Structure 1
Amino acid sequence: MISTAAPPLARRISALARTLTIGVRVCPDGRARLTPRGELVHGCADTLTATLARLPSGTGRVELDMAEVTFMDSAGLEFLDVLDAFGRTTPARVTATGWTGQPRRVLELAGLDTADPLSHPAAPPPADAPAKPAPHGPAPHAPTPLALAPSAVAVERTERLLELEQEVEQLRHALDSRPVIDQARGILMAAHACSPRQAWDILREASQRSNTKLRTVAAAVTAGAQPDGPAPAEEIRTALRTAVELTVGTGPAGPAAG
């Protein structure tokens, strides 16, 4: 029996999440051997929940071999929480062993046992404590709360993804802004007999001095050059006039300086 799920990692980064599959082999003695393969990322807990729900009702032990899990972020701790809850709400004994590579390192960073993060040996009773009679039936499973602190690996990966998204957004904005900026540079070159580089410097200087986005300054220059076009706002006109003087010196008055 194989359970497969491939939910997105998050919004626009769904392509980064690899499919998690869980192979299941039920043994005659009531053990279920689970073999997860892939990455423990967003959605892995749902895959595990669906797999556990399909196990036979008489399953007395669930053993996970994690050796084929290649990557784990903080969602992997949710995966372990599902296992923990299953062990506390059913008679089955649950173990998760065989951790290697990066997932093992995440367990270390989260302060969990790298041999089996679900194992929590009970503290020995005081020497003078009276002996308790053995309980009848299967021993209850002690609660094993798992820390949900995000791992350093998950944080680093998330930060890098956010950086990439910001870079893409900046490039997209630059492409959208380029036509109006190029037009404004052409107008400034014609009005002040300056080079393309000097025209760019004028726009940049005016943007900084007026505390206005460069694209907005360029749009004001372009609009002002049209017949009966609106003059740039006063702060932009003043900033352009100063930028022209600093860049090319006193020159022919044009739509940029107003």
Structure 2
Amino acid sequence: MTEEEVADPENLPQPDRLQVTADATDEIHVLTPAGEIDHHTGDTLRQALDAISTPRPRVVVDLHQVTFMDSSGINILIAAHRALTDAGGRLRLARPTAPVLRTLQIVGIDTVIDCHTTLPEALKK
């Protein structure tokens, strides 16, 4: 690679971006993040969670498209769980990928926040 190619921002590796889609089913908000949740991308998920302003919000975060999650993601989920619980709502997690499930299990989040293997299970009232 020449110096010009290295200096070109299009040739530099870009951190994975996180995209979050939002949907609602039976008054349950379903957020589906796709990509990596870390200290560079976590604000995208945090903002999506903060945007839910219904009374007694019920939220499911569908993790089937998340390829990596570090402690930043764990902290976001814990804060959301506390905020939703305080508002009379709830947070559930659905379909974590194997690496994400391992992270959730290592830190014990799966014992604090309901974690389901399928989306229909997480959506049950």
TM-score class, shorter-chain normalisation, is 0.5 to 0.7
Give the aligned residue type for 1:22: V
Give 1:3's aligned residue: none
RMSD (CA atoms): 2.4
Give 2:81's aligned residue: 84
- Give the CA deviation at 1:73: 1.8
- Indicate yes or no: 2:50 matched with 1:53: yes
- Indicate yes or no: 2:96 matched with 1:94: no
Higher strand share: 2
Higher helix share: 1
**SS of corresponding position for 2:30:** strand
Larger relative CO (CA 8 A, sep 6+): 1 or 2?
A: 2
Indicate the percent of aligned positions where both proteins have the same amino acid. 28
The ranges of structure 1 where at least 4 consecutive aligned residues each deviate by more than 3 angstroms after the TM superposition are none
TM-score with structure 2 setting the length: 0.67
Give 2:33's aligned residue: 36
* Structure 1 pair 43–108 and aligned structure 2 pair: CA distance change class (3 A): same
> Contact 1:48/1:82 (CA < 8 Å) preserved in 2?
no
**SS of corresponding position for 2:114:** coil
- Give the CA deviation at 1:119: 3.2
Q: Which runs of 5+ in 1 are unaligned?
A: 1-14, 121-258
Give the count of matched residue pairs.
103
Q: Give 1:1-258 correspondences, 5 Å limit.
A: 15=13, 17-27=15-25, 29-58=26-55, 60-113=57-110, 118-119=113-114
- Give the CA deviation at 1:104: 1.4
Give the aligned residue type for 1:96: L
> Contact 2:33/2:61 (CA < 8 Å) preserved in 1?
yes
TM-score with structure 1 setting the length: 0.36
Deviations 1:180-238 (A, max 9, x none): xxxxxxxxxxxxxxxxxxxxxxxxxxxxxxxxxxxxxxxxxxxxxxxxxxxxxxxxxxx
Higher Cα Rg, which structure? 1
